[in-house]
Amino acid sequence: MLNNIKTQFSIKDLENFTGIKAHTIRIWEKRYGLLEPQRTDTNIRYYNSDNFLKLLNVNLLYNNGFKISKIAELSDTAIELKAREVASNKAVEQAAINQLKVAMVNFDAVLFNETYNKLLASKSFREIFTQIFIPFLEYIGLLWQTKSIKPAHEHFISNLIIQKIQSNIEKNQSISFTKSGEVFVLYLPMDEIHELGLLYLHYELSLRGLHSIYLGPNIAIEHLSDLTALHDNINFISYFTVQPPDDEIYDYLHDLDAEVLKDNHQFWFLGRKALEYSLNGTLKSVKAFKSVDALLKVL
């Protein structure tokens, strides 16, 4: 059972969490008695935690070929058991994402870790991140936009994912660099808040035996010069999603080029602002990438 953080859901919440249209939920409710909404003291309809969990299981079965009329004939216990059966045989990704949804709403770190450990039995960390975590994070973005979750939910689940990335980075760094030469320095500019993607890139670089140095957020341009005094041929890498501001990004890149990118040093960046970037090749040491995969292909 979920705790008191989130135990009442509007039909719009159910739509956002499951992907099932509110109109369809109403039809299932009327035709099959699938859910039993309740009413507040002010007569506003809402769905409780049991309805929420049941609809997640129904959605899993429905997306795997079960007819809604047949699902509706099952008891709540039978639906839950059948969903577990399906999850154990196939639809691993959707079942895991459903568990992560419940863990997030309930602030349940134990459930998150149980789900993660089950995935590790059949998937590599890269597969878990790309097949499970990335779709789940995109889904969180939708929930954030529709105000179905609060900042605490996002921070809670993001920090748990960050912990997993960091633990895998630590494993990679337990051995010496297998490739010498280039050095990769990863950082975020001042007030840029989207660290998770950059941290995952740090994992990918360390997995390849590359010398990857992670500085983290809020790094000013002048601080990067400390690295150039120690290493030749540095590839600085960053994510630009909210910073620098759109009207300052080109000034930032020119300042970076003038103060840091000398000799063989380069600057690579990703994120939303990378998709809009164009300097027509005037800064030879600056390159934008549309995705982590695109960047990894050049290594």
Q: Are residues 107 and 82 in the same domain?
A: no
Q: Domain boundary at 74, 90, 106, which?
A: 90
91: left (phi over 0), alpha (psi -120 to 50) or beta: left
Dist. CA 162–CA 167, nearest whole Å: 9
Q: Are residues 139 and 182 in the same domain?
A: no
Q: Are residues 155 and 180 in the same domain?
A: no
Distances (CA, A) of 57 to 7, 179, 261, 298: 17, 47, 53, 42
> Are the C-beta atoms of 267 and 256 separated by less than 8 Å?
yes
Q: Are residues 114 and 40 in the same domain?
A: no
Nearest to 97 by CA among 150, 138, 49, 48: 138
Q: Are residues 149 and 188 in the same domain?
A: no
Dist. CA 112–CA 110, nearest whole Å: 5
Three-state DSSP at 3 gives coil
What is the full per-residue pLDDT of the chain (299 aa) written as tens digits? Answer: 334 456 788 888 888 778 888 899 999 998 988 888 888 888 888 888 888 888 888 888 888 888 999 999 999 888 888 887 776 655 677 788 888 988 988 899 999 999 999 999 888 998 999 888 988 887 777 666 566 677 888 889 999 999 999 999 988 776 666 556 789 999 999 988 778 889 999 999 988 888 899 999 999 998 998 888 888 889 999 998 888 888 888 889 999 988 888 778 999 998 888 877 776 667 888 888 888 888 988 88
Q: How many other C-beta atoms can be found within 10 angstroms of the C-beta atom of residue 245?
A: 11
Angle between helices 134-145 and 92-106 (to 10 degrees): 50
Non-local (6+) Cβ contacts of 33 within 8 A are: 72
Q: Are residues 119 and 146 in the same domain?
A: yes
Q: Are residues 222 and 126 in the same domain?
A: no
The answer to whether the pTM exceeds 0.75 is no
Q: Domain boundary at 33, 60, 90, which?
A: 90
CATH of the domain at 122: 1.10.1240.10
- In whole angstroms, what separates CA 47 from the centre of its chain? 27
Backbone phi, then psi, for 176, in 5-degree steps?
A: -70, 160
CATH of the domain at 78: 1.10.1660.10
Task: Evaluate the omega torsion of the peptide bond into residue 151 and state whether it is cis, within 30 degrees of 0.
Answer: no
The DSSP annotation for 68-92 comes to HHHHHTS-HHHHHHHHHHHHHHS-H
Paired tokens of 78 = 């039978």
- In whole angstroms, what separates CA 247 from the centre of its chain? 28
The total number of structural domains in the chain stands at 3
